[in-house]
Structure 1
Amino acid sequence: MAQPHRHLGVDIGLSGLIKWIRYPAVDSETAGLDVVGSVADRYDGAFAHQLLRDCLALLDSPLSGRDVEILWLAGTFREFDLERLGIDGRVWLRRIADVCTDRIRSDDPFFVPAASSAADDKAKEAVAAEVGSVGPALEEATARHAYSPLDGVVPALLLAVDVDPDLAFRLLLRALKGYFVPIGEARYERYLALGDELGLGEDVVDDGDFNVWPDLAD
């Protein structure tokens, strides 16, 4: 079944929230939840559906709170730092999910979140291959960053692939953009093609934040 509210002309769901919560930067849980509420309300509340779906997929998964924190920190470049604020990753997802549920129920009081459908094995393989391919460059950029180091990004992404390859792909892109990891044109074109296969709009894959080097062979 096609997912509703996927084509909004912007990045969607959790990856979209991660992008927007950085600008302007917020430095408290209260301020962060204010951003969540604002984002969930976008497009007459349509954004809340995809954001809730992403959160529930991870909450229903075996990923630990730390795994979720790593995925969040990689995409936000630690500019909304759950670790510094002492917020467990799964607790943060639950709070986001509650905000989204409240927003949806303001329009539909009888709304009940639907269970996620099983992930397609072909999609899992394709996204896992891209994570593995860019993994060394991503680990180098994150773990060895001069002032925003972060370990374990690639293993956390691979765990997410088994849960929801669509979400994992979007989180991979957000991590690459957050840490401004250089990619070549061939990889960029593969990302556009894979996004299309996953049913994502081109504006989700390329929102202007990539660091593309035309002479980089990858």
Structure 2
Amino acid sequence: MRFTYIYFILVILFLVGCGIETTMEEVEASSIKTNPISERKTNIEKRSAITPTASALNNSVKLLNDIIDLEKRIVDPQTNEENNELFNKKNDLKISIITENINIGMKQTEIIHLLGTPNVIGISPMNGQEVWRYDFVNVEGYVFHENEHFQEMGIVDTVDIDGLKRDKLSMQLFLNWKGNTLSHIVNYDKHEEDIREYRVFENKEVREVILSQM
């Protein structure tokens, strides 16, 4: 009898443990929706345990190595002048990281493995969807902030045109989310004397336009 009783207790404890584990998984999966904006980056970092595909990782590593090589050669060490052709090629390589590796339908953990955690997390003023912003800075310590009103509302919507024109930034990437799924991609970069917008809609339609003439 005593053995049967102990066995019964162990079975109950096992079932309760399974229930707690399932509940914790459900809470973790829904945390990005229920927690306020200020806590989302912490939750995102906890969820970055998925290994990216080998092909995506290899492509990114190769592109980054090419970029680093170009950065070493952009400024002539003798004249201290910048080679515009190499500068444009470097920016084209950077945007190819976006165009070749980031696609509609990707999950947040996949993006984190490719790009790391975003610089800013907020919401879109158009539809209230979650927005991640990545700032690819050229100048160490450079930080771009939304205007004070947008910051108070948690809105992420402003493009740093001035920073792009002055080469403080090489690119600025905005990612919109429906839940945990990427639904909209917008990237801005300086190409030659222009600011270029690369946009991918939810239906996977791609549009490229020139925003400003320098």
TM-score computed with the length of structure 1 as normaliser: 0.25
Q: Determine which structure has the larger helix proportion and give its number.
A: 1
Q: Which has the higher contact order (CA 8 A, sep 6+)?
A: 1
| Structure with larger Rg | 2
TM-score computed with the length of structure 2 as normaliser: 0.26
Q: Determine which structure has the larger strand proportion and give its number.
A: 2
